[in-house]
Structure 1
Amino acid sequence: MFSTVLIANRGEIACRVIRTLREQGIRSVAVYSDADAGARHVALADTAVRLGPAPAAQSYLDIDAVIAAARQTGAEAIHPGYGFLAENTAFAAACEQAGIVFIGPSAEAIRVMGDKITAKHAVEARGVPTVPGVARAGMTDEELIAAADDVGYPLLIKPSAGGGGKGMHVVTEPERMPAALAAARREAAAGFGDDTLFLERYLQNPRHIEVQIVADAHGATVHLGERECSLQRRHQKVIEEAPSPLLDPQTRERIGQAACETARSVAYRGAGTVEFIVAGDRPDEFFFMEMNTRLQVEHPVTEEITGIDLVAEQLRIAAGEPLSFDQGDVRLRGHSIEARVYAEDPSAGFLPTGGRIRRVRHPEGRGIRVDTAMVDGLDVSVDYDPMLAKVIATAPTRDEARRRLLAALSDTVVLGFETNVAFLRGLLEVPAVVRGDLDTGLIERELDSLIAVEIDDDVFARAALLLDDALDRADDPWRRRDGWRLGPPAPRRYDLESGGERRLIELRGTGGTLTLSVDGAEQAAAVTPGAAGAVSVRVGDRTASVIADVGADRVRLASDGAVHEVRRLRADHRRGDDDAVAPELVSPMPGVVILTPGADGATVAVGDPVVVVEAMKMEHVVRAEIAGVVSLRVRPGDSVTRGQSLAVIAPPTGEEDGA
């Protein structure tokens, strides 16, 4: 077995690999970019090496730098995690040339399965069913458009390289093909360095089911059951579970054997996942989609129901040892569900957020596991994927696991920027999810209700009390609420806004004699210290434990399983309903400008694209809100902050209108 292993990754997966290395008594080496110098995985590892600046291309994707770090620290092996270099044939080959063990399959297996066209042909030769479509290397846009009619609409454009749903586009009618192909090629080239595309028939409302396999160098190939990954948004998994509530034992065995045949088609070695698409109304009919030649994000649910540490098995296989079990030893016990916590704002179209984590609280308890890199004070950069953590709940039954996960998410607090935690809780309570009646289109159908933000009076009341309490403890005596004055005490007014709703809160008194009124309805109130950094806030007969980050005119508070940001409005924050639409376009997120479809000086109509901003591997198109002439403030390649001006649109003059 190895004595030192380098983890060529970051975030929660690096922390998770370090945990197993520590249990195995193996020295761990972390690598980091300048953006991650204070990251949790750096602190957890036995030693750490700087790779370079924040951009991944100059740090985590720099093969020479990673190999040099391994040599410098005496690492005999490199664990790639997932993403970055995990499925990079050049990196696997570079490890071999450097005499360092790559903890994963051979470069040839990565090459074959990393090219979805080649992979499709390889598994078809082993009798594994595949989705009907057109898959030939080097097809031009014109050839793809010509072939689309034979495939039939709706169809799916897929990049041959990469994964994670990036570059995939559903096309429902022929006239949308050119624009979709252009976007898919651009995204595939940016994400994977390869813009090769192919077409598949798009199956309406399918289920996404994947099978975990492990294979050693001694001829053993074993499957560890399946995972249901149908809850997706834009082809990106959100919640995963094991086993699937759809499959019966017979189909489970058939799909498991198909996964093993897929692995055997490339003499696979290591841990990998074979992904299938399954018709919801025909659960016995499944089609191969792709093979991920690495550990998956959702691997914890398989570990929880099998009791097998997949990272430990990866280490054994890479060291040349046989698997520690065979197919007959695999038993699926209970049910496990995982929710991915992202730095994104569901109410703003799931735009990436990021920033500094002011406070974080992770859930604990029976059957709860948290894989995370979050700590107080961590700066979450937009240079990388927005996933922050995974919360996993395991129980004897699916419904008990679901309810445990709901409770765990209620105890999950991230203060500093928006996350999707409240969205995840809402998703777990959708009736179809409760029943296990899942498909890949479910989130889109339920989206409006899932992103709706309901804010009751108690949120505003708690925010006012916390702002008032902060003032009472201020060093400036002129700002304190207990200052002496002639006459009766004046009410302290807080004009508050959150989620488009507004309340006027009035407070009177101090200490234990506070009274509070929301739009005139008066009741007793109090703020007292609580446990674990929380405060206890009482409004009338309702008491809540609240974790908060309080500023001068803003408070972000977590209570009742949700996080709200409440602003105190000043005179300059108020605007009438008849205010005109602002001609200035601002960036909805921190990121990098990649395109400016609205050229400087061009005339645009309402809805025309003006600037495209990319952050955390996502593109967002900023469109004109009024018709007029564009004056750009940015150029492609510029880094922008959230709220930064991108362009100004001047309304057309009378002469331009022909007046």
Structure 2
Amino acid sequence: MFDTVLVANRGEIAVRVIQTLRALGVRSVAVFSDADADARHVREADTAVRIGPAPATESYLRGERLIEAAARTGAQAIHPGYGFLAENAGFARACADAGLVFIGPPPEAIALMGDKIRAKETVGAAGVPVVPGSSGSGLTDDQLAAAAREIGMPVLFKPSAGGGGKGMRLTRLESALLEEIASARREARSSFGDDTLLVERWIDRPRHIEIQVLADAHGEVVHLGERECSLQRRHQKVIEEAPSILLDESTRAAMGAAAVEAARSCGYVGAGTVEFIVPGGDRGAYYFMEMNTRLQVEHPVTELITGIDLVEWQLRIAAGEPLPYGQDDITLTGHAVEARICAEDPSRGFLPSGGTVLALSEPRGAGIRTDSGLSEGTEVSSLYDPMLSKVIAYGPDRPTALRKLRAALAQTVTLGVPTNAGFLRRLLAHPAVVSGDLDTGLVEREAGGLVPEGVADEVYAAAAAIRLTRLSPVPDQGWTDPFSVPSGWRLGGTPAPLAFPLRVAGLEPVTQRPPTDFTVTDDTVTVTTDGVTHTFHHAGAWLGRDGDSWHIQDHDPVAALLSGAAHAGADTLAAPMPGTVTVVKVSVGDRVEAGQSLLVVEAMKMEHVISAPHAGTVTELDVTPGSTVAMDQLLAVVTPDEPGGEGEGTEAAHG
């Protein structure tokens, strides 16, 4: 076993790897950018090395800096985690050239399976079923569009160089092919440094099933059962579980054997995942999609049902140890479900969020595990992936695991940064999820009904109770100045009802009176309204309950007017999330059509297209490519056409 291992990653996966290193008595080295100088993974490692400025392209993606840090700290091996350089064959080769062990598969296996086109050809030759699609790499936009038409709509464009849903585009209309291809290329280039795409037939209502494999350097390859990963948004998994309720023993054995063959076909060593798609309505059919040549985000559910620490065996295999068991020794016991907590705001269309973690409470206890990179004071920016933590529940059966996870998400508190915890709790209670009737489109179809409209009255009541408490004076030696009491008293008249103007971003301001029955402590507030008692966590201007949170600000109409908020309206385009403007397609004075794409804002590796709200002329444009923008920052103004003017219709134009 190694003496010292450098962890070439950040956030929850870096913390996770460091925990196993500590359990094995191995010294850990963390790396950090300027944005992560005080991050949890830095504090928990035995030593830490700065590798560059905040942008990942200048720090976590600079392989030479990681190798230099390993040399400086005496590390014999580098664990890449997932994301960043975890599936970069060039980095794996550079580690070997520097005399370091890359804790992952050989560079050749990474290169082969990292090229989805070659991967499909290789596993197909080994007898593994593959999804019909384009063959050959380096296709131009026109060639990709032609291949899509030949396959038949709808189709799915996928980056050949990476996974995780980044750069994937489901396209149903032939007229949108070229625009979707261009968008997929931009996101693929941003995420993986390679914009090569392939196109596959889209299988409606599919299930996403993946098989975990372990392969040592002595020829032994085993699978550790499957994970159900069908609950996704924008091709990103949000809930994973093991085992899948879909598979019977014979199908599990067949898919496991296919995964083992896929691993053997590329000379795989280490922990990896073979992903399959199962057509809706055909439980026995399955097609290879891709192989992830790294540890998966969802690896904890496999660990819980097998009792095998996958990070430990990554390390042991990399150190040359043989697997101590064969396929017949692997047993699956109980059920585990994982929820990914992400910095995103369901009330704003799940756009990436950010901010400072003001209050944090993460669930623990029997059958509950939380993998997290958070601590109070953590600054969540738009620079990195939005996933913050994972909450995992284990039970003897699926209903128990689901029930435990819902309860754990209700206990999750992350104030200061909007997250999807409350949304995931409601998703886990959806009848289709409870029954196991899943497919990859379920979340998108049902998302609208799982996001509450507006803000409940008791939330505003709790905010008003906190404001009143802050105004109330603290007695001095048992005496309180009566003129400092916020009673609404006024000279020569009856007391005025005390009320507070409050506002949640995106909603109309409200004026709220404090409830008559409430209790406020340093971190909780309890209010009784209409005979029902509600308890919230609070920090600063934030309130949280059952995984949901609200940023409730004091509303000052004069300040809003002076700040330009009153300028907001149907003509203005504001940043929907904190991020970076990557594309500007128009200039001041340009005439645009309703729905025309004007700008692209990117945050946390996700693109958001800003379109014209109506036909008109661009009269204001406040950003350029590369501009960093805050949430709700003004980007542009489109002044609508005058009635009867240009674009008003054929009859008006030719009348």
Scaled by the length of structure 2, the TM-score of the pair is: 0.93
Inter-CA distance 619–328: structure 2 relative to 1 (3 Å threshold): same
Q: What CA distance in whole angstroms lies between the structure 2 residues aligned with 1:168 and 1:42?
A: 33
Q: Aligned pair 1:562/2:568, yes or no?
A: no
Match of residue 534, structure 2, among 531, 541, 544:
544
Match of residue 634, structure 1, among 623, 626, 634:
623
Instruction: Report what 2:499 is aligned to.
Output: 493
In the TM superposition, residue 539 of structure 1 has moved relative to its aligned partner by 4.1
Instruction: Report what 2:132 is aligned to.
Output: 132
Range that drifts further, 231-240 or 414-423:
414-423
Instruction: Report what 2:512 is aligned to.
Output: 505
Paired residues of 1:557 and 1:563 also in contact (CA < 8 A): yes
Q: What CA distance in whole angstroms lies between the structure 1 residues aligned with 2:518 and 2:144?
A: 66
Alignment of 1:181-260 (within 5 A): 181-260=181-260
Q: What CA distance in whole angstroms lies between the structure 1 residues aligned with 2:459 and 2:508?
A: 11
Inter-CA distance 543–273: structure 2 relative to 1 (3 Å threshold): same
SS at match of 1:134: coil
Inter-CA distance 108–402: structure 2 relative to 1 (3 Å threshold): same
In the TM superposition, residue 654 of structure 1 has moved relative to its aligned partner by 8.4
Q: What CA distance in whole angstroms lies between the structure 2 residues aligned with 1:77 and 1:479?
A: 64
In the TM superposition, residue 546 of structure 1 has moved relative to its aligned partner by 2.1
Range that drifts further, 415-424 or 398-407:
415-424
Range that drifts further, 344-353 or 533-542:
533-542
Q: Aligned pair 1:481/2:486, yes or no?
A: yes
Paired residues of 2:159 and 2:184 also in contact (CA < 8 A): yes
Superposed CA deviations along residues 379-399 of structure 1, whole A, max 9, x for unmatched, are: 012100000000000101101
Range that drifts further, 622-631 or 469-478:
469-478
Instruction: Report what 1:587 is aligned to.
Output: 575
Inter-CA distance 582–460: structure 2 relative to 1 (3 Å threshold): same
Supply the AA of the counterpart residue of 2:317.
Answer: I
SS at match of 2:129: coil
Supply the AA of the counterpart residue of 1:495.
Answer: P
Instruction: Report what 2:585 is aligned to.
Output: 597
| Equivalent residue pairs, number | 636
Inter-CA distance 61–606: structure 2 relative to 1 (3 Å threshold): same
Instruction: Report what 1:104 is aligned to.
Output: 104
In the TM superposition, residue 529 of structure 1 has moved relative to its aligned partner by 3.1
Inter-CA distance 159–540: structure 2 relative to 1 (3 Å threshold): closer
Supply the AA of the counterpart residue of 1:634.
Answer: V
Instruction: Report what 1:527 is aligned to.
Output: 519
SS at match of 1:492: coil
Inter-CA distance 179–319: structure 2 relative to 1 (3 Å threshold): same
Q: What CA distance in whole angstroms lies between the structure 2 residues aligned with 1:474 and 1:298?
A: 50
Q: Aligned pair 1:618/2:610, yes or no?
A: no
Superposed CA deviations along residues 110-163 of structure 1, whole A, max 9, x for unmatched, are: 000000000001101110010111221122222222222331221111221111
Supply the AA of the counterpart residue of 1:282.
Answer: D
In the TM superposition, residue 488 of structure 1 has moved relative to its aligned partner by 4.9
Range that drifts further, 471-480 or 364-373:
471-480
Q: What CA distance in whole angstroms lies between the structure 1 residues aligned with 2:457 and 2:147?
A: 57
Q: What CA distance in whole angstroms lies between the structure 1 residues aligned with 2:124 and 2:538?
A: 56
Paired residues of 2:488 and 2:495 also in contact (CA < 8 A): no
Q: Which runs of 5+ in 2 are unaligned?
A: 648-652
In the TM superposition, residue 466 of structure 1 has moved relative to its aligned partner by 1.3
Inter-CA distance 146–605: structure 2 relative to 1 (3 Å threshold): closer
Instruction: Report what 2:650 is aligned to.
Output: none
Range that drifts further, 84-93 or 412-421:
412-421
Paired residues of 1:581 and 1:625 also in contact (CA < 8 A): no
Supply the AA of the counterpart residue of 2:534.
Answer: A
Range that drifts further, 460-469 or 376-385:
460-469
Paired residues of 2:167 and 2:185 also in contact (CA < 8 A): yes
Q: Aligned pair 1:406/2:406, yes or no?
A: yes
Instruction: Report what 2:19 is aligned to.
Output: 19
SS at match of 1:426: helix
Q: What CA distance in whole angstroms lies between the structure 2 residues aligned with 1:614 and 1:534?
A: 36
Supply the AA of the counterpart residue of 1:337.
Answer: V
Q: What CA distance in whole angstroms lies between the structure 1 residues aligned with 2:568 and 2:95?
A: 60
Q: CA RMSD in A?
A: 2.4
Q: What CA distance in whole angstroms lies between the structure 1 residues aligned with 2:136 and 2:283?
A: 29
In the TM superposition, residue 331 of structure 1 has moved relative to its aligned partner by 0.9
In the TM superposition, residue 569 of structure 1 has moved relative to its aligned partner by 3.1
Paired residues of 1:527 and 1:538 also in contact (CA < 8 A): no
SS at match of 2:499: strand
In the TM superposition, residue 188 of structure 1 has moved relative to its aligned partner by 1.7
Paired residues of 1:217 and 1:320 also in contact (CA < 8 A): yes
Range that drifts further, 231-240 or 161-170:
161-170
Instruction: Report what 1:92 is aligned to.
Output: 92
Q: Aligned pair 1:644/2:638, yes or no?
A: no
Superposed CA deviations along residues 190-226 of structure 1, whole A, max 9, x for unmatched, are: 2222222222111000000000000000111010000
Paired residues of 2:466 and 2:525 also in contact (CA < 8 A): no
Q: What CA distance in whole angstroms lies between the structure 1 residues aligned with 2:546 and 2:73?
A: 47
Range that drifts further, 471-480 or 255-264:
471-480
Paired residues of 2:458 and 2:527 also in contact (CA < 8 A): no
Alignment of 1:145-156 (within 5 A): 145-156=145-156
Paired residues of 2:526 and 2:535 also in contact (CA < 8 A): yes
Instruction: Report what 2:54 is aligned to.
Output: 54
Paired residues of 1:462 and 1:539 also in contact (CA < 8 A): no
In the TM superposition, residue 470 of structure 1 has moved relative to its aligned partner by 1.7
Supply the AA of the counterpart residue of 2:543.
Answer: L
Inter-CA distance 82–261: structure 2 relative to 1 (3 Å threshold): same
SS at match of 2:285: strand
Q: What CA distance in whole angstroms lies between the structure 2 residues aligned with 1:424 and 1:648?
A: 36
Paired residues of 1:587 and 1:613 also in contact (CA < 8 A): yes
SS at match of 1:120: helix
In the TM superposition, residue 626 of structure 1 has moved relative to its aligned partner by 4.1
Range that drifts further, 462-471 or 257-266:
462-471
In the TM superposition, residue 619 of structure 1 has moved relative to its aligned partner by 0.8
SS at match of 2:22: helix
Q: What CA distance in whole angstroms lies between the structure 1 residues aligned with 2:225 and 2:404?
A: 22
Instruction: Report what 1:268 is aligned to.
Output: 268
SS at match of 2:194: coil
Q: What CA distance in whole angstroms lies between the structure 1 residues aligned with 2:308 and 2:66?
A: 29
Paired residues of 1:130 and 1:287 also in contact (CA < 8 A): yes
Q: What CA distance in whole angstroms lies between the structure 2 residues aligned with 1:229 and 1:612?
A: 29
Inter-CA distance 331–621: structure 2 relative to 1 (3 Å threshold): same
In the TM superposition, residue 584 of structure 1 has moved relative to its aligned partner by 3.1
SS at match of 2:162: coil
SS at match of 1:133: coil
Alignment of 1:317-332 (within 5 A): 317-332=317-332
Superposed CA deviations along residues 5-45 of structure 1, whole A, max 9, x for unmatched, are: 00000000000000000000000000000000010000000
Supply the AA of the counterpart residue of 2:179.
Answer: A
Instruction: Report what 1:426 is aligned to.
Output: 426
Q: Which runs of 5+ in 1 are unaligned?
A: 508-515, 517-523
SS at match of 1:263: helix
